[in-house]
Amino acid sequence: MGEEAKTAVLMKEERIFEPPKELVDQSNVKAWMDKKGFKTEKELREWCSTNYEEFWGEMANDFADWEKPFDKVLDWQPPYAKWFVGGKINMTYNCLDRHVKTWRRNKVAYIAVGEPVDDVRLFTYWDLYRETNKLANALKGMGVEKGDRVSIYLPMIPELSIAMLACAKIGAIHSVVFSGFSAKAYGDRVKDGESKVSITCDGFWRRGKTVPLKAQADEGIADAPSILKQIVYKRTGQDVPWNEGVDVWWHDAVEGQSATCDPVFVDSEDRLYILYTSGTTGKPKGIEHAQGGYCVGPPQTLSWVFDLKEDDVWWCAADIGWVTGHSYIVYAPLSLGATGVMYEGSPDFPDIGRWWKIIQDYGVTVLYTSPTAIRMFMRAGGEWPAKYDLSSLRLLGSVGEPINPEAWIWYRKNIGADKLQIMDTWWQTETGTFINSPLPITPLKPGSCAFALPGYSCEVMDEKGTVVPFGEGGNVVITEPYPSMLRAFYKDPDRYMKTYWEYYWENHPGYYLAGDKARRDDDGYFFIQGRMDDVLNVAGHRIGNSEVESACVSFPDVAEAACIGKPDEVKGEVIIAFCALNAGVVGTDELKTAIYKHVGKELSKIAAPSEIHFVADVPKTRSGKIMRRIIKAKAMGKDPGDTSTLANPEAVDAIPTIV
């Protein structure tokens, strides 16, 4: 049991954005409510979450095709859950085979936009099906069998999806590593997972130049004895080093392979993938996800939250190297038979209008992105999206970190024509699907991820496992299992127990500690305050870093902010803010005073930074998370450790040492 879990509540959001009637009336979730006779959203959420076994049993049959029906919805022996026990299923069958038997055979599955302008490839379901089968057959020929691991190190090209689907088709477990990670990061993950095959490419496009990947993959697998073969996709045509006997070109591997491949129907609990996520310390954790749960949770949440329809053009602008891409670029949209955009390159190539041009060119209807991306676009200015026709959009989304109300409002106004609803989805690599999120029927509050979705149970609790009253903050705790939840840490049951379950085990075995802090307002709306280990403690007030950062960013000249706590004899900690300013703004002492006053007014005097430093950029991970631990180490004159996995390692060097 930990130290006191409660957090102070400083920020109050009063604005409410009601969903337009047309959105509500045509929504997927409303249709289900009407069918079931639910009158209100509250009633819907409560019934589904209370009767979650019955609910998920129904969803499992609505959203997935089972080779053999399950006998039992759930077997829950905390901390291990088994879903859809006795069922046999295949994820790729659900994503491809079942669609090619219908009119969707020639429906576009992916609009694959390469970074070079005009490099666009359309993949129908039939194309994906055939390419996946060929690769699956090639993998089989290399000796890959059910349960074997395959490491995938590819950029944002459709071949990455194909590689994942090929693994799942034959019951092999993929382990995708983000292509921006280093050779060492790749190698560590290949070795931990003991993969038989590595799949990579020669290189990819980034800001108009080719970035080599093959040499890095080689370095990663150099001392990985489990690797039998490496498949290399030719993307850029650049020269690559070649290891005879190990390397095989993708086009050679699939040459002559049959375009049909029988799916290996696996037990519902057989693993679909491992995805490594970094913990606060040490070695990355290999999160394991199961086939059966994944055939249900991702498509169900995408259908209800983003309301996907047959004619939507969905764009989840994440990278498949993260869970967001696994669930919402690959498995959920394909399972629903949707059309999705996939973009290879940088948002500022050839200029910062690229995303808006993609939306215009392909008539994107639903856009899902991150607060970091939104703040970057804010910084560039509303004149960029204004140059393009974004009128095809009908719904927006956000994920990855708390979205500060300032960015939320900008997003709605500049991208959403001042009328589109924003689904702020809170979830994790571990959860596989959204947990807390608005629905198209939900009145929104900027910066809030609303409530636990139907079928999910999430609370804000103190350190004893008691729900804190509305209006107060504490730990985010998931109290019941759900189909897409993580099943284990690869080869590390002790750490699995310790990281998530131990905290509440004594009184509440089965309560999952998410590691985030949140508060709920008087109406029960969740406002995520950031990671537990990021919480500041100023004069006995526990304050979420993200709340202070959000207040800094709501000052007009500030583009991004990172806040850390500096030990202080009197107050325990004082707040140090590092602010990146909008283009052209000069950092002066007057400006510091103005920001200081602004934060004091927005939040409270105790939350006003005692020092403000102007920096060119804030250090972030590739998935856009502010790396406060690294910033803090640098500022405190300590070794910031390995910064190679950051999006902008040079930003760390620019952090001044302040002690």
Instruction: Specify whether the CB–CB gap between 625 and 554 falls below 8 A.
Output: no
User: What is the nearest approach in angstroms of ligand PRX to the Cβ of residue 481?
Assistant: 18
Instruction: Specify whether the CB–CB gap between 130 and 314 falls below 8 A.
Output: no
Q: 272: part of which helix (H) or strand (E)?
A: strand 271-277
Distance CA 496, CA 490 (A): 9
| Interface with ligand PRX, residue 5, by CB under 6 A | no
Amino acid letter for position 383: E
159, 192, 516, 573: which one contacts ligand PRX (CB under 6 A)? 516
449, 532, 591, 595: which one contacts ligand PRX (CB under 6 A)? 449
Angle ∠(404,409,410) on CA atoms, nearest 5 = 100
Q: 316: part of which helix (H) or strand (E)?
A: strand 313-316
61, 182, 226, 277: which one contacts ligand PRX (CB under 6 A)? 277
Q: Which range in 11-19, 55-63, 426-434, 599-607 contacts ligand PRX by CB under 6 A?
A: 426-434
Angle ∠(480,521,549) on CA atoms, nearest 5 = 100
Q: Closer CB to ligand PRX, residue 32 or residue 186?
A: 186
Q: Which range in 109-117, 223-231, 360-368, 513-521 contacts ligand PRX by CB under 6 A?
A: 513-521
| Interface with ligand PRX, residue 324, by CB under 6 A | yes
User: What is the nearest approach in angstroms of ligand PRX to the Cβ of residue 526?
Assistant: 9
Q: Nearest to residue 592, comparing CAs of 615, 569, 574, 624?
A: 615
End-to-end CA distance of the chain: 33
| Interface with ligand PRX, residue 87, by CB under 6 A | no
Distance CA 247, CA 55 (A): 47
| Interface with ligand PRX, residue 297, by CB under 6 A | no
In this structure, the strands spanning 458-461 and 395-398 are unpaired
Instruction: Give the chain's count of helices (H) and strands (E).
Output: 24, 30
Residue 452, beta-bridge partner list:
436
Structure tokens at 130: 């055939």
Neighbours of 584 (CB within 10 A): 6
Q: Closer CB to ligand PRX, residue 114 or residue 624?
A: 624
Residue written as tokens 């020929």?
141
383: which residues sit within 8 A by CB, 6+ positions away? none
| Interface with ligand PRX, residue 115, by CB under 6 A | no
Q: Binding to ligand PRX (CB under 6 A): which residues in 392-411? A: 399-402
Count of residues touching ligand PRX (by CB under 6 A): 20
User: What is the nearest approach in angstroms of ligand PRX to the Cβ of residue 348?
Assistant: 22
Q: Closer CB to ligand PRX, residue 303 or residue 425?
A: 425
| Interface with ligand PRX, residue 529, by CB under 6 A | no
Q: Which range in 100-108, 218-226, 348-356, 427-435 contacts ligand PRX by CB under 6 A?
A: 427-435
User: What is the nearest approach in angstroms of ligand PRX to the Cβ of residue 436?
Assistant: 8
Q: Closer CB to ligand PRX, residue 263 or residue 298?
A: 298
Instruction: Specify whether the CB–CB gap between 290 and 487 falls below 8 A.
Output: yes
Q: Binding to ligand PRX (CB under 6 A): which residues in 609-628? A: 623
User: What is the nearest approach in angstroms of ligand PRX to the Cβ of residue 178?
Assistant: 11
Question: Any alpha helices (H) in 85-157, and if so which ranges?
Answer: 91-92, 98-100, 125-141
Residue written as tokens 């325990």?
572
Q: Which range in 52-60, 304-312, 425-433, 599-607 contacts ligand PRX by CB under 6 A?
A: 425-433
| Interface with ligand PRX, residue 332, by CB under 6 A | no
User: What is the nearest approach in angstroms of ligand PRX to the Cβ of residue 401?
Assistant: 5
| Interface with ligand PRX, residue 380, by CB under 6 A | no
Residues in the chain: 659
Q: Closer CB to ligand PRX, residue 174 or residue 229?
A: 174
Looking at residue 467, the DSSP 8-state letter turns out to be B
Quote helix, strand, coil % in the chain, to nearest 5. 35, 25, 40
| Interface with ligand PRX, residue 428, by CB under 6 A | yes
Amino acid letter for position 21: K
Residue 475, beta-bridge partner list:
461, 517
Q: Which range in 85-93, 196-204, 421-429, 637-645 contacts ligand PRX by CB under 6 A?
A: 421-429
Structure tokens at 638: 């300590």
Q: Which range in 62-70, 185-193, 309-317, 424-432 contacts ligand PRX by CB under 6 A?
A: 424-432
| Interface with ligand PRX, residue 325, by CB under 6 A | no
Q: Nearest to residue 295, comparing CAs of 59, 112, 505, 131?
A: 59
| Interface with ligand PRX, residue 424, by CB under 6 A | yes
Q: Closer CB to ligand PRX, residue 429 or residue 554?
A: 429
Q: Which range in 129-137, 386-394, 423-431, 479-487 contacts ligand PRX by CB under 6 A?
A: 423-431
Collapsing DSSP states into helix, strand and coil, what is residue 429? coil
Distance CA 240, CA 285 (A): 31
| Interface with ligand PRX, residue 426, by CB under 6 A | yes
User: What is the nearest approach in angstroms of ligand PRX to the Cβ of residue 25?
Assistant: 26
| Interface with ligand PRX, residue 286, by CB under 6 A | no
| Interface with ligand PRX, residue 435, by CB under 6 A | no
Q: Which residue ranges make up the site for ligand PRX (CB under 6 A)? A: 277, 323-324, 399-402, 424-429, 449, 514-516, 528, 531, 623
